[in-house]
């Protein structure tokens, strides 16, 4: 049992008696996220909430940072996410949803100790800070090449024409994918978005499940074909050495092949990294004054990307589970409680980030929650940040301006992510004295 409080007799936290997310305007997606942040951080705002499904909702920065260190607050293991769908051998005629479940069970985010740190180390050996930093020049060159190949003066979709090719070819280079395979994997990862909906329908589940089949086949076929590559061989060797029994109810599942391991984990690599790159450019288009500063001070690009992702985080919330009673700051969170952790909202908590709606290049990002926190922090954050930074640098160096196309923003509602369906822009060759990106301060909010 975790004890992170000095109170001897903590009060049981009655989740059912808490105000609801709906009371503060949140029902999923970026629009709801912005409304929620504006409402919940008023001086008389609540500390805890409950979700529509009865989960405890935590969103304040200090609470999330503290709870991220509590080992009894675990991720949802495969059986908790997908019920009995994964019990027993694979069915001859898999039901709708099985392809998603069978993919995600290979994902790091569906594991807990003792398995999580072992698989995390295997993944970080390939996509951690050192191997990622070594790809900085090639990633910037990749982004530059994508921009230079696009037409100027006519609308393009920054999501599908820039972000997805960049992210697809980045991860494709790791696996040895062809460009066609890399673009297909990125597109199918986007089509899996309905699995992140708060309210799912049979149609949305079927759509995500069909995409999961194509996505997994694409990644695994490339992985199998390139099994002799050092990256693939090392992952396979390290997976074979894992001696931890599968436990779909809590600990998780050991992927059987390098291809399954990469397919499961790179779903987030393809999907969330594409959102990070898109949201970074979106935020800069809304703040042309920042781009003007970056043009004269390119050393501030890393700080700008961090601030962009605080303001426009890819991930709004993730789900957790109290594996045991948790004593926290005078409260008892009972064993078995589902907990919604609103990482993206914590980035707008004025107690941690004063004047949170202001884009501040000098702002400290200490304690950033854009990619989560604690033992389950996103291992792909180094690559996602690198790709967003490389895209901004490519824009700054290419002599291009990016102009937004008039019209409302097309954010996907009912979503655990801040995700644009499309971001129509026009690329233009810069003339002397022009800013490298042009936009407005309102951006259709």
- Tokens 């702002």 — which residue? 363
Residue 410: φ, ψ to 5°: -110, 70
Number of helices followed by number of strands (H, E) in the chain: 17, 15
Q: What's the DSSP call for residue 406?
A: S
Q: Residue 279: which residues within 8 A CB-CB, separation 6 or more? A: 308, 309, 312, 313, 314, 418, 420
Share of the chain above pLDDT 70, in %: 95
Residues 108-132 have pLDDT tens digits of 999 999 999 999 999 999 999 999 9
Render pLDDT for 244-295 as a digit per residue (tens, 0 to 9): 999 999 999 999 999 999 999 999 999 999 999 999 999 999 999 998 899 9
Mean pLDDT of 50-57: 97
Cβ 180 vs Cβ 202: under 8 Å: no
Can you tell me the mean pLDDT for 184-190? 98
List, for residues 320-346, the tens digit of each pLDDT value. Answer: 999 999 999 999 999 999 999 999 999
**CA distance linking residue 124 with residue 116, whole number of Å:** 12
Domain boundaries, the chain: 98-319+357-438
Q: For residue 90, is pLDDT > 90? A: no
Closest Cα to residue 400, out of 167, 147, 143? 147
What per-residue confidence (pLDDT) applies to 1? 46
pLDDT, tens only, 131-152: 999 999 999 999 999 999 999 9
User: How far separated are the first and last CA of the chain, in Å rounded?
Assistant: 44
Nearest-CA neighbor of 358 among 311, 392, 302? 311
CA-to-CA separations, 178 to 14, 26, 169, 212, 306, in angstroms, rounded: 53, 41, 8, 19, 31
Q: Which long-range contacts (CB under 8 A, 24 or more apart) does 40-49 make?
A: 40/345, 41/348, 41/349, 41/350, 41/356, 46/18, 46/19, 48/13, 48/15, 48/18, 49/18, 49/19, 49/20, 49/21, 49/23, 49/24
Residues 6+ apart with CB under 8 A from 36: 21, 24, 25, 26, 345
The conformation of residue 394, written as its DSSP 8-state character, comes to: H
Mean pLDDT score of the chain, rounded to an integer? 93
CA neighbours closer than 13 Å in the CB half-sphere of residue 383: 29
The DSSP symbol for 183 reads: H
Least confident span in 55-64, 68-77, 435-444: 435-444
Model-wide pTM > 0.85: yes
Q: Could you tell me if 204 and 28 are in contact, meaning their C-beta atoms sit under 8 angstroms apart? A: no
> Which pLDDT band, with edges at 50, 70 and 90, does 89 fall under?
confident
Rounded CA-CA distance 409/412 in Å is: 10
Least confident interval from 5-19, 110-124, 257-271, 376-390: 5-19
CA-wise closest residue to 421 among 187, 143, 144, 146: 187
Count of residues in the chain: 445
Query: Which CATH number describes the domain made up of 98-319+357-438?
Result: 1.10.630.10
Percent of the chain as helix, strand, coil, to the nearest 5: 50, 15, 40
Per-residue pLDDT of 26-47, as tens digits, reads: 999 999 999 999 999 999 999 9
- At 266, list the tokens: 């790179």
pLDDT at 83: 85
């Amino acid at each position: 049992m975790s004890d992170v409080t000095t109170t001897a007799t903590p009060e049981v936290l009655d989740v059912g008696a808490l105000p609801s997310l709906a009371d503060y305007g949140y029902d999923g997606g970026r629009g709801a996220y912005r409304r929620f942040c504006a409402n919940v951080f008023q001086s008389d705002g609540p500390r805890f909430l409950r979700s529509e499904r009865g989960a405890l909702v935590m969103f304040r920065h200090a609470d999330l940072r503290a709870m991220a260190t509590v080992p009894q607050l675990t991720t949802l293991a495969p059986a908790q996410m997908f019920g009995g769908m994964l019990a027993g051998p694979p069915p001859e005629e898999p039901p709708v949803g099985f392809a998603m479940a069978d993919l995600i069970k290979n994902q790091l985010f569906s594991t807990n100790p003792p398995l999580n740190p072992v698989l995390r180390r295997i993944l970080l050996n390939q996509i951690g800070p050192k191997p990622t930093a070594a790809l900085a020049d090639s990633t910037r060159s990749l982004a530059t090449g994508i921009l230079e190949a696009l037409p100027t003066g006519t609308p393009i979709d920054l999501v599908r024409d820039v972000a997805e090719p960049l992210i697809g070819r980045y991860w494709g280079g790791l696996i040895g994918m062809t460009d066609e395979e890399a673009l297909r994997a990125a597109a199918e990862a986007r089509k899996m978005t309905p699995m992140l909906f708060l309210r799912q329908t049979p149609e949305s589940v079927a759509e995500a499940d069909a995409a999961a089949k194509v996505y997994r086949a694409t990644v695994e076929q490339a992985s199998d074909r390139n099994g002799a590559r050092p990256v693939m061989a090392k992952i396979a060797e390290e997976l074979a050495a894992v001696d931890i029994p599968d436990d779909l109810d809590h600990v998780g599942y050991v992927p059987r092949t390098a291809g399954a391991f990469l397919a499961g984990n790179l779903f987030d690599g393809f999907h969330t990294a594409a959102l990070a790159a898109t949201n970074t450019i979106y935020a800069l288009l809304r703040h042309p004054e920042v781009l003007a500063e970056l043009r004269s001070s390119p050393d501030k690009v890393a700080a700008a990307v961090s601030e962009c992702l605080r303001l426009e985080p890819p991930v709004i919330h993730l789900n957790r589970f109290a594996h045991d009673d948790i004593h926290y700051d005078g409260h008892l969170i009972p064993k078995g409680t589902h907990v919604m952790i609103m990482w993206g909202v914590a980035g707008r908590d004025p107690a941690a980030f004063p004047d949170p709606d202001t884009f501040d290049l000098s702002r400290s990002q200490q304690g950033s929650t854009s990619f989560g926190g604690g033992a389950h922090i996103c291992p792909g954050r180094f690559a996602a940040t690198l790709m967003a930074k490389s895209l901004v640098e490519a824009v700054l160096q290419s002599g291009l301006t990016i102009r937004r196309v008039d019209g409302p923003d097309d954010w996907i509602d009912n979503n655990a992510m801040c995700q644009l369906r499309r971001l129509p822009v026009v690329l233009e060759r810069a003339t002397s004295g022009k800013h490298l990106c042009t936009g407005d301060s309102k951006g259709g909010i």
